[in-house]
Copies of this chain bind each other. A is one copy, B any other.
Amino acid sequence: MQITILGGGGFLGQKLARRLAKDGTLGGKAVTGLTLFDLAAPAAPDAPFPVTCLGGDVADPAQVAKAIPPGTHVVVHLAAVVSAQAEADFDLGLKVNLYGTLAVLQACRALPAPPRVVFTSSVASFSGGQEARLEDDARQLPTNSYGAEKAIGELLLQDASRKGYLDAVNIRLPTVIIRPGRPNKAASSFVSAILREPLLGLETDLPVPEEFAVWICSPRRAVEWFLHAMTMDTAALGIDRGINPPGRSITVGKMLTALETVAGPAARARVRPAPDAAIEAIVGGWPASFTAERARRFLGFSEQESMEEIIQGFLEDDLAATKADRGL
């Protein structure tokens, strides 16, 4: 299996790369090579197969074609400009999130055999807000440019799958927590920060009320879903390549209760209410819950673990590296 990860320098791309390096196989077959592509050439994991690291522009068809050479079986397309950044810079969002996906489509189509493409779409491609519990056939009516570009990417890859140019699985990722590293430009950055920063001993702002609910998943779960999507039988999907995976709907208050359970009241006390209308305007449009029946019952996507397990996972997988990265 020859695999390419676009956005391979990002936190999910790196986790997936390290997992593939550790396993050495995917779906029972040996991994024969891995290409990691990002703006700057990503770090290569120590792997039992060759790893090629490329820096480049995902919106440049020639560079993307280099990252997806003939013989590629699986492309994981994680490269994106995140929500608040795409909202602040419309042209950059279009460039990376739309023209980038078009470049991926054309590079895959040029291969001798259509590769599996795992594309990360997002909860941000829907609307409905706090009251919503969306069915699998819910309409994507985005209230932000990032979500619109993700919905467009899904349409492009779905149509390319129908044409036989590639074989897409479009996973609408929940808000992934706990992100390691630093706060980023995603409007949902706070959802990780209110757990990560206190675990690092730092104070942080809570821009929404405690009863605010979020549709979330863990990095561990996201990687499991990617591995499943990379090898699943797509015949079960039919024309509809969009997957709402079985995340978890949880209020910010319950997240903080879990933080207190795992790390004590001092940790929770580091979260300060600081209402931010601009942040709430973006994340407030995203639906707080999905039924995710199709993924759970018929497509074999595994269930999200508990909030306490998510925090424990961060402590085990990411705390030390995050501390080192931030000089703490």
Residue ranges of A at the interface with B (Cβ–Cβ < 8 Å): 90, 94, 102, 127, 137-145, 148, 151-152, 155-156, 158-159, 162-163, 165, 239-240
Question: Is A148 touching B142 in the complex (CB atoms < 8 A)?
Answer: no
Question: Is A155 touching B148 in the complex (CB atoms < 8 A)?
Answer: yes
Of A94, A143, A159, A239, the most chain B CB neighbours within 10 A belong to: A159
List of B residues within 8 angstroms of A156 by Cβ: 148, 152
Contacts A148-B159, A152-B156 hold; do A139 and B142 have CB atoms under 8 A apart? no
Complex CA distance for A239 and B126, rounded to whole angstroms: 12
List of B residues within 8 angstroms of A138 by Cβ: 139
Contact of A158 among B102, B148, B159, B239 (CB under 8 A): B148
List of B residues within 8 angstroms of A143 by Cβ: 162, 239
9 further interface pairs, Cβ-Cβ under 8 Å (given A141-B239, A148-B158, A152-B155): A127-B239, A139-B139, A141-B158, A142-B155, A144-B159, A148-B155, A148-B156, A148-B159, A152-B156
Complex CA distance for A106 and B138, rounded to whole angstroms: 30
List of B residues within 8 angstroms of A151 by Cβ: 155
Question: Is B240 touching A141 in the complex (CB atoms < 8 A)?
Answer: yes
Q: Least Cβ distance of A131 to chain B in Å?
A: 15
Question: What are 10 inter-chain pairs, A to B, with CB distance below 8 A?
Answer: A90-B163, A90-B165, A127-B239, A137-B139, A141-B240, A142-B155, A142-B158, A148-B158, A148-B159, A151-B155
Of A138, A140, A155, the most chain B CB neighbours within 10 A belong to: A155
Q: Oligomeric state, in number of copies?
A: 2
List of B residues within 8 angstroms of A165 by Cβ: 90
Question: Is B142 touching A140 in the complex (CB atoms < 8 A)?
Answer: no
Q: Least Cβ distance of A41 to chain B in Å?
A: 30
Complex CA distance for A145 and B158, rounded to whole angstroms: 10
Nearest residue (CB) in B for A157 is B148
Q: Least Cβ distance of A107 to chain B in Å?
A: 14
The 8 tightest CB contacts between A and B, nearest first, are: A148-B159, A139-B139, A148-B155, A152-B152, A152-B155, A137-B139, A145-B159, A151-B155
Nearest residue (CB) in B for A86 is B159
Question: Is A142 touching B127 in the complex (CB atoms < 8 A)?
Answer: no
Complex CA distance for A142 and B138, rounded to whole angstroms: 14
Nearest residue (CB) in B for A146 is B159
List of B residues within 8 angstroms of A140 by Cβ: 139, 155
Complex CA distance for A212 and B203, rounded to whole angstroms: 65
List of B residues within 8 angstroms of A162 by Cβ: 143
Nearest residue (CB) in B for A153 is B152
Contacts A155-B151, A156-B152, A239-B127 hold; do A163 and B137 have CB atoms under 8 A apart? no
Complex CA distance for A165 and B102, rounded to whole angstroms: 23
List of B residues within 8 angstroms of A139 by Cβ: 137-140
Complex CA distance for A162 and B127, rounded to whole angstroms: 13
List of B residues within 8 angstroms of A144 by Cβ: 159
Nearest residue (CB) in B for A139 is B139
